[in-house]
């Protein structure tokens, strides 16, 4: 798959970086000229993935979050959010809507459901003790063709 453009960011797992990450991805995606609905979908999906690193992966500590964005062929936006945190034991279970390991913190267990429904593709790989990688793809302007 040809990579037409790419950007990489790495930042600390501080909650104040959630807004930064959303804005950075949308600024990069702007070259695909997404409509307001698409921007809103991307913004929300990125927020979910980054928040999960901060809330779950690096619970009680600060680590580094790595973000890669690419423009692929056919106006496809590729986003990878990766942490080196605690990892997920059972990814299929974690991705079930309403599943959460942090109910007492008022987490709804809907982050993955949001990513899945707002993006075209979602792939999660994880290893306990080593970290998690979330890859999302969305074709921009696909609805009108």
Partner 1 sequence: MSLRIESRDRSVTAYLTGEIDHHIAAAIRNDIDYSVRDTGAVELILDFSGVTFMDSSGIGLVMGRYRLMNEMGGSVIVQDPPHNIKKVMKLSGIDRLAEIRNSTEEESK
Positions marked active-site: 48, 52, 107
Helix (H) or strand (E) holding 131: strand 131-139
Closest approach, Cβ 81 to ligand ATP, in A, equals: 8
Closest approach, Cβ 4 to partner 1, in A, equals: 28
Judged by CB under 5 A, does residue 13 bind Mg ion?
no
Judged by CB under 6 A, does residue 45 bind ligand ATP?
no
Give the span between the Cα atoms of 66 and 83, in whole angstroms.
6
CA distances from 3 to 40, 42, 69 (A): 24, 19, 10
- Contact segment (CB under 6 A) with ligand ATP among 2-10, 28-36, 47-55, 60-68 equals 47-55
Does residue 102 contact residue 111 with C-beta atoms inside 8 Å?
no
CA distances from 143 to 7, 30, 113, 117, 138 (A): 25, 17, 21, 15, 11
Query: Site residues (CB under 6 A) for ligand ATP?
Result: 48, 52-53, 55-57, 83, 85-86, 88, 94, 99-102, 107-112, 132
Residues that bind partner 1 (CB under 8 A): 15-16, 18-19, 22, 36-37, 40, 43-44, 47-48, 51, 54-55, 105-108, 110-111, 113-114, 117
């Amino acid at each position: 798959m040809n990579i037409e453009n790419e950007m990489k960011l790495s930042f600390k797992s501080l909650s104040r970086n959630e807004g930064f990450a959303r804005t950075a991805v949308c600024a990069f995606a702007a070259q695909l000229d997404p409509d307001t609905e698409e921007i809103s979908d991307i913004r929300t999906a990125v927020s979910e993935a980054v928040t999960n690193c901060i809330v779950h992966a690096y619970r009680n500590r600060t680590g580094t979050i790595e973000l890669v964005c690419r423009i692929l062929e056919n106006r496809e936006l590729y986003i990878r959010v990766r942490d080196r945190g605690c990892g997920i034991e059972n990814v299929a279970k974690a991705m079930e809507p309403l599943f959460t390991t942090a109910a007492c913190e008022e987490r709804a267990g809907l982050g993955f459901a949001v990513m899945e429904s707002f993006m075209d593709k979602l792939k999660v790989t994880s290893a306990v003790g080593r970290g998690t990688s979330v890859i999302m793809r969305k074709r921009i302007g696909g609805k009108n063709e």
